[in-house]
Amino acid sequence: MNYIIDGYNLAYNITDIASLLKKGNPEAAVRQLIRILNTTIKNNTAKIILVLDGNPFASEKINSAGRIKILFSKKPQIADDIIRDFVRKTKNIDRWTVVSSDSEILFTAIDHGAKTIKSADFLKKTDKPDKPEETDIDLKSNPQNIDIDYWKDIFNSGNDK
């Protein structure tokens, strides 16, 4: 699955990144967002396009970050326009997932056959732990995880009468 991501829309759903943006540090915010995307999208063959409004970086121009291609809108265009144009013009758009919470973007994507996911849901879906969680079965088959003496005392205390 490939992703085209409404960058700032996603960024404002991540507390630390939203804080950087509110403090006027968009470069640090985008770099943090790139790190998160690289670690949460496990499929190394996935194409990822991160679309952002304007180019906020005075010091350097960022066009890509590893497997992530970054597109900046140029006035009067906004990031939403780039995403909608991409959806309208891309063949095999059904191989792409549009990540945004903007209803106009999502409606355009659905109308053209792209998959969609809201920004907050995307983070929940992609942020999976690397190791499986311990289950009840694991605890029962591994009694070292339980203080056996404690439970013996609890259950035997009622048998003294």
User: Which tens digits make up the pLDDT trace of 102-158?
Assistant: 999 999 999 999 999 999 998 776 544 333 333 333 433 444 444 555 556 656 655
**How far apart, in whole angstroms, are the C-alpha atoms of residue 75 and residue 96?**
26
**How much is the mean pLDDT over the chain?**
79
What residue ranges do the domains of the chain occupy? 2-128
Predicted local distance difference test score (pLDDT) of residue 74:
87
72, 50 in Cβ contact below 8 A? no
Predicted local distance difference test score (pLDDT) of residue 1:
86
Provide, rounded to the nearest whole percent, the portion of the chain with pLDDT above 90. Answer: 45
Return the CATH class of domain 2-128: alpha beta
Closest alpha carbon to 112 in 88, 81, 91, 95: 88
Closest alpha carbon to 117 in 96, 102, 87, 97: 97
The residue behind tokens 């326009």 is 81
Residue 11 has pLDDT above 90, yes or no: yes
Global pTM value: 0.73
**How far apart, in whole angstroms, are the C-alpha atoms of residue 70 and residue 19?**
21
Predicted local distance difference test score (pLDDT) of residue 62:
59
